Amino acid sequence: VPEGSGTGRRVVYSVGQDRVWLVDASDATRRSFKVWPGTVDPDPGKYSVGTRRQEPTTGSDGVRIEQIMYFTQEDGVWVAFSNAVDGSSPPPVEGIKTGGIRLPKADGDALWEFGTSGTTVTVVS
């Protein structure tokens, strides 16, 4: 887990490493995985999981996504974790501001279970 990511139960997202850690209350890493960010990165800081949507919908890039967990807005764009329904990891569409941080399907399932509403999301560089 990156230094400076806080303590206690939290989701840690490293913008520079394109990686997420699920950290329990004893500061033990329960799971870590690579992610595929959109074109808009959240600023470093502490946030909370807000709205969650499990049902599939179409993302701003046209990809069908599910298990969406919103945690902040940046540059007028919502930033959220999600996974593609078909498990794909398409690259971000150039010229479109997208805040979707995509996860592999199995990791999306694990994050969905771990990141209930109100869970701290710590973003580090």
**14-23, 67-76, 88-97, 100-109: segment of lowest average pLDDT:** 88-97
Question: In terms of Cα–Cα distance, which of 94, 91, 103, 32 is closest to 65?
Answer: 103
Assigned token pair, 84: 């593609």
Arithmetic mean of pLDDT over the chain: 95
At 69, the pLDDT band (50, 70, 90 cuts) reads very high
- Domain boundary assignment for the chain: 10-124
pLDDT beyond 80 at 74: yes
Name residue, tokens 């995985």: 33
User: Could you tell me which residues come within 8 angstroms of residue 57 by beta carbon, excluding any fewer than 6 positions away?
Assistant: 64, 65, 66, 68
- Supply the pLDDT for residue 54: 96
Q: Nearest 5°: phi and psi at 123? A: -100, 130
Distance from C-alpha of 2 to C-alpha of 114, rounded to nearest angstrom: 19
List, for residues 4-63, the tens digit of each pLDDT value.
999 999 999 999 999 999 999 999 999 999 999 999 999 999 999 999 999 999 988 888
DSSP string, 20-53: EEEE-TTS-EEEEEE-B--S-PPPSEEEE---EE
- Supply the pLDDT for residue 94: 81
Q: Per CATH, is 10-124 categorized as 2.40.440.10?
A: yes
Q: If 0-12 CB within 10 Å is exposed, 13-18 middle and 19+ buried, where does residue 11 land?
A: buried
